[in-house]
Amino acid sequence: MIHADADIAIVGSGFGGSVAALRAAEAGLRTVVFERGRRLDLQSERERRDVLLTRYTNGPAQLHSMSGLLALTGNALGGGSQIYTAVKMPPKPEIFDHHWPGDINWQTIQPWYERVREVIQPKTVDQPFDRQAKLESIATALAGRVEPLPLAWSPPPKPQQPNIAAVDLHGQWQAWQAGGGKRPLTQTYLKRAEEEGAEFRCEAEVTFIEAIPSGYRVHYQSRSDGAIIADSVRAEKVVITAGTLNTLRLLFRCRDAADGLPHLSPALGRHFFTNGDMGAALWRGAGLPKTDTGPLVTAWVDLWQHERMFVMETGRFPMVNASDRAPWLFGIMGDPPIDGAIAFEKGRLRHRFKREPICTFHRRVATLMKIAAQAIESRALVLPASVFNRRPVTVHPLGGARMANGPHEGVIDSHQQVFGYSGLYVLDGAAIPRQLGSPPSMTIAACAERAMAKMLEQGH
């Protein structure tokens, strides 16, 4: 059955999708956003119960476990902003020196970061916490520099739950979402988009997109009273923002498994990046910081100059039910020379990458974390090499449908329109043409702002 038409259909409501929804709705377009996840109600019992997206539950996090990769991403209205640590940092300027289309560079992208800041209004954490002082000791030992990080949050009026609590891991995480002052996209871009008339269809998963003479037909499945209902919408323009791995799966399916978008570039899947992600912890030591009531992340150690890496603290976490034994967690991001590819085989994604750069990166992180541990009299814990080198782990998957100067190098042009398909866009992490080495949400949103301005300027 063909449902009502839309001027623009948006697949996914993360950083790319939220920007697209607000700008399209503001311009008066009939805007429909399809979101596979739920509209979260953080007070509800279901929030505590359903953590992951599985066959039986539609929780706010999706674990992608595939050959050569383990990734965690968001699955709710607001996408990754519902589960992320809310750091809003652009990458280092030299990241824009290579691999971007000719008209994007550090200077030309600045106004679009500014547009995102106007809506999200990131702020650093002013309160001095013990972990910031400890981070200074680590920075000195690593010959780096502590940098406070701007977050999408507003300090809560009174101290909320402590950063560590005798509750389960998910309960602790939800405390940060609900009471810690974090502002997911449902409080910024999406709130405004809804006020401007955008329609959100939650628990609706887009399964297939096909080019038709008047635009595109977007097929989706939604759940109603336990039954799965298949339906479709015709739209003049379609913006795909399902998050890097879901976008790649959808595009592969439309190109290879069914004939919806048969002329997609052969470069689909190439130049996929894990953003130099790795996890580590410091534990068992007198020098660990005191627990506090602040946000999960406050600052990182900038090691860019000599390591092209950041070591970001992400608070002490209740892996065990006792605060004095909680490890202090770290997220490491960087720009190692790792350039992989996502392939689509027998309906499944797999990650192909060269082993050696991953092994070298792992060894370097392990060495640095050992030095960090000595600096505050604790012990370092990093993911075992045997696991990480076979299956890199990421919360920042990027690329695979990247912006490029032509269809032999990438899938979309510099304004993120798909080569060969007028009116079809990719505005999420899959569009980013290279590793950023830092948290990507600001850059995904800034590029989406730029692309939407061009789309709307051309008339609709």
Ligand X SMILES: Cc1cc2nc3c(=O)[nH]c(=O)nc-3n(C[C@H](O)[C@H](O)[C@H](O)COP(=O)(O)OP(=O)(O)OC[C@H]3O[C@@H](n4cnc5c(N)ncnc54)[C@H](O)[C@@H]3O)c2cc1C
How many residues bind ligand X, per CB under 6 A? 39
Counting contacts by CB under 6 A, is residue 12 touching ligand X?
A: yes
**Least separation in angstroms between CB 287 and ligand X:** 25
How far apart CA 155 and CA 139 sit, in angstroms, is 26
**Least separation in angstroms between CB 186 and ligand X:** 11
Cβ distance to ligand X smaller for residue 3 or 363: 3
Quick one: which segment of 80-88, 176-184, 366-374, 414-422 binds ligand X (CB under 6 A)? 80-88
Cβ distance to ligand X smaller for residue 52 or 141: 52
DSSP 179: H
**Least separation in angstroms between CB 314 and ligand X:** 8
**Least separation in angstroms between CB 244 and ligand X:** 6
In whole angstroms, how far apart are CA 436 and each of 47, 238, 337, 398?
32, 26, 12, 9
Quick one: which segment of 102-110, 211-219, 320-328, 438-446 binds ligand X (CB under 6 A)? 438-446
Counting contacts by CB under 6 A, is residue 418 touching ligand X?
A: no
Query: Which 43-72 residues touch ligand X, going by CB under 6 A?
Result: 72
- Position among 9, 14, 272, 365 found at the interface with ligand X (CB under 6 A): 14
Segment holding 69, helix H or strand E: strand 69-74
Cβ distance to ligand X smaller for residue 11 or 424: 11
Query: Which 260-289 residues touch ligand X, going by CB under 6 A?
Result: none
Counting contacts by CB under 6 A, is residue 80 touching ligand X?
A: yes
- Position among 31, 75, 232, 435 found at the interface with ligand X (CB under 6 A): 75
- Position among 91, 101, 340, 439 found at the interface with ligand X (CB under 6 A): 439
Cβ distance to ligand X smaller for residue 78 or 289: 78
- Position among 181, 429, 433, 437 found at the interface with ligand X (CB under 6 A): 429
Q: Give the β-pairing of 227-240 and 424-426.
A: parallel
Q: How many Cα atoms are found within 13 Å in the side-chain-facing hemisphere of 231?
A: 16
DSSP codes of every residue in 97-144: SSSS-TT--HHHHHHHHHHHHHHH--B---S--HHHHHHHHHHHHHT-
Counting contacts by CB under 6 A, is residue 336 touching ligand X?
A: no
How far apart CA 70 and CA 308 sit, in angstroms, is 23
Q: Pick the closest to residue 276 from 223, 334, 315, 232 (CA basis).
A: 334
How far apart CA 285 and CA 312 sit, in angstroms, is 19
**Least separation in angstroms between CB 459 and ligand X:** 25
Q: Pick the closest to residue 271 from 343, 335, 340 (CA basis).
A: 340
Counting contacts by CB under 6 A, is residue 8 touching ligand X?
A: no
Cβ distance to ligand X smaller for residue 88 or 362: 88
214: left (phi over 0), alpha (psi -120 to 50) or beta: alpha
Query: Which 81-120 residues touch ligand X, going by CB under 6 A?
Result: 83-87
**Least separation in angstroms between CB 70 and ligand X:** 12
Counting contacts by CB under 6 A, is residue 182 touching ligand X?
A: no
Q: Give the β-pairing of 278-283 and 328-334.
A: antiparallel
How far apart CA 72 and CA 84 sit, in angstroms, is 10
How far apart CA 232 and CA 96 sit, in angstroms, is 39
Q: Pick the closest to residue 314 from 204, 444, 163 (CA basis).
A: 163
Cβ distance to ligand X smaller for residue 199 or 370: 199
Q: Which stretches of 129-254 are DSSP H helices?
A: 130-142, 169-179, 189-195, 244-252
Cα 405 from chain centre: 25
Counting contacts by CB under 6 A, is residue 16 touching ligand X?
A: yes
Counting contacts by CB under 6 A, is residue 242 touching ligand X?
A: yes
**Least separation in angstroms between CB 429 and ligand X:** 3
Counting contacts by CB under 6 A, is residue 392 touching ligand X?
A: no
Q: Give me the residues that bind ligand X (CB under 6 A), please.
A: 11-17, 34-37, 72-76, 79-80, 83-87, 205-206, 241-244, 246, 250, 395-396, 428-429, 439-441, 444
